[in-house]
């Protein structure tokens, strides 16, 4: 079965924790989902730190829009915070036919109906 490809936007405190949990529990998460789930790209302003955290096993970029526009990514996990850019990224991901997951309460409170 085709794996689910995930793009992670932001790998700070929350994004780093998400990276760790998804990788540590990858086998169980894949079993429950019925197919493999892989983070294949990470976007963060601090590319060096992101490469260090991911161990160089995924594509790391400083342009979150490149991840949102990547046709191989099925799910975008937005963890950058703020509202303006996060909103733009989420709406563009949805327009590109991707599912969006976010922990951004401010974004949902202000723009959730969009």
Mean pLDDT across the stretch 64-87?
94
Burial per residue of 44-60, b for 16 or more beta-carbon CB atoms within 10 angstroms, e otherwise: beeeeebbebbeeebbb
**How many Å apart are CA 68 and CA 101, to the nearest integer?**
12
The per-residue pLDDT for 41 is 97
Residue 110 has pLDDT above 80, yes or no: no
The structure's pTM equals: 0.91
- Tens of pLDDT, residues 29-38: 999 999 999 9
Cβ contact 9:70 at 8 Å: no
The per-residue pLDDT for 22 is 92
- Tens of pLDDT, residues 78-108: 999 888 898 999 999 999 999 999 988 877 7
């Amino acid at each position: 079965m085709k794996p689910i490809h995930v793009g992670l936007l932001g790998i700070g405190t929350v994004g780093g924790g998400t990276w760790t949990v998804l990788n540590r529990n990858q086998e169980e998460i894949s079993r429950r989902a019925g197919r493999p789930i892989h983070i294949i790209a990470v976007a963060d302003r601090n590319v060096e730190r992101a490469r260090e955290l991911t161990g160089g096993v995924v594509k790391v970029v400083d342009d979150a829009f490149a991840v949102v526009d990547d046709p191989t990514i099925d799910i975008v996990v937005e963890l950058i915070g703020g509202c303006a850019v996060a909103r733009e990224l989420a709406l563009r991901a949805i327009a590109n036919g991707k599912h969006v997951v976010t922990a951004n309460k401010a974004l949902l409170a202000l723009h959730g109906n969009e």
